[in-house]
Structure 1
Amino acid sequence: MKRFLILFLLLMVAACSNKPGDSEIQSQVLPLLATASTKDIADIKNLRKTNGYETDGNTYAIDIAYDLVFKVNYADLAKTSMPKDSPDGLIEGLQSVITGFNLLGLNVTYGNFKAGDRFVKQDHLTFIKTENGWMLTEPPESPL
């Protein structure tokens, strides 16, 4: 009986964790980083918590880091993103302006990257304790 009580108490303490675990961070943050807009261009690797602290009894702040690993070269991405001539000139023109700004933003942030280039990204996130465990309050910053 004593062993059962000790085991029960240990399980209760583990279930009422005062900070989000690595599995909760991975399951909630990774899908938000690896979105449809990033999956064809880059992979998210080595997501890890680098620091954390409790702000109050129900809130826990964490710092994360991860590697953004490009799958394509910037030059190839720019070539494939160029608009094609079409009768819908205005729509194509607007889309090319938007694509051009996105490509320029990538180039300003990461330079003339090559496939396999790795960049370490960092972010600060907040989790709150709910009835169903820890929940991320806001999505992380987009890696691209």
Structure 2
Amino acid sequence: MKRFLILFLLLMVAACSNKPGDSEIQSQVLPLLATASTKDIADIKNLRKTNGYETDGNTYTIDIAYDLVFKVNYADLAKTSMPKDTPDGLIEGLQSVITGFNLLGLNVTYGNFKAGDRFVKQDHLTFIKTENGWMLTEPPESPL
């Protein structure tokens, strides 16, 4: 009877700890944060789970935090992003408007950042249990 009780308790503990681990978070979330649009401007450092809870038997919600560390100064980024003279002025003009809005968004969010400046970002993610392990249901919010 004791053996049955011990086995039952061990199975219960194993079932309760069935949640996405650090390896799932690192392998699924980090590549989505460190996209092509991010990698030349900033690095993602210190990705960590800060909290989590089971919604139901197949869904687990986590809170993450990470450091966004800029590689470049805002002023240098703005200078290098200025449009070049080209024969196709219309396309270049549209690209410069889009680039200008992106730069403005960065400045509003992070100010006049310098290379090495670090900002702590947070997000809320949901994983579902599949036949092949835990899977992220939606990508994290873009860091930039």
Q: Indicate whether the TM-score tops 0.5.
A: yes
- Deviations along 1:20-53, whole A, 9 cap, x unmatched? 0011111000000000000000000000000000
Residue 79 of structure 1: aligned partner: 79
2: CA distance, partners of 1:34 / 1:4: 48
CA 1:92–1:101 in structure 2 vs 1: closer, same or farther (change >3 Å)?
Answer: same
Corresponding residue SS for 1:9:
helix
Decide which moves more: 106-115 or 17-26: 17-26
In the TM superposition, what is the alpha-carbon distance from 1:86 to its structure 2 partner? Answer: 1.3
CA 1:12–1:35 in structure 2 vs 1: closer, same or farther (change >3 Å)?
Answer: farther
Corresponding residue SS for 2:49:
strand
2: CA distance, partners of 1:110 / 1:140: 19
- Deviations along 1:80-126, whole A, 9 cap, x unmatched? 00001111100000000000000000000000000000000000000
1: CA distance, partners of 2:16 / 2:72: 43
Kindly tell me the number of residue pairs found equivalent between the two proteins: 144
CA 1:115–1:54 in structure 2 vs 1: closer, same or farther (change >3 Å)?
Answer: same
2: CA distance, partners of 1:11 / 1:84: 65
Corresponding residue SS for 2:44:
strand
Corresponding residue SS for 2:85:
coil
In the TM superposition, what is the alpha-carbon distance from 1:18 to its structure 2 partner? Answer: 1.6
CA 1:4–1:49 in structure 2 vs 1: closer, same or farther (change >3 Å)?
Answer: same
Query: Gapped runs of 5+ residues in structure 1?
Result: none
1: CA distance, partners of 2:41 / 2:11: 42
Decide which moves more: 59-68 or 3-12: 3-12
List, as ranges, runs of 4+ consecutive aligned residues in structure 1 with deviation greater than 4 Å.
Answer: 1-17
Q: TM-score, normalised by structure 2?
A: 0.90
1: CA distance, partners of 2:122 / 2:56: 23
Residue 3 of structure 1: aligned partner: 3
CA 1:12–1:37 in structure 2 vs 1: closer, same or farther (change >3 Å)?
Answer: farther
CA 1:39–1:15 in structure 2 vs 1: closer, same or farther (change >3 Å)?
Answer: farther
CA 1:26–1:9 in structure 2 vs 1: closer, same or farther (change >3 Å)?
Answer: farther
In the TM superposition, what is the alpha-carbon distance from 1:15 to its structure 2 partner? Answer: 9.4
How many percent identity over aligned positions? 99
Is 1:21–2:36 an aligned residue pair?
Answer: no
RMSD, aligned CA: 3.2
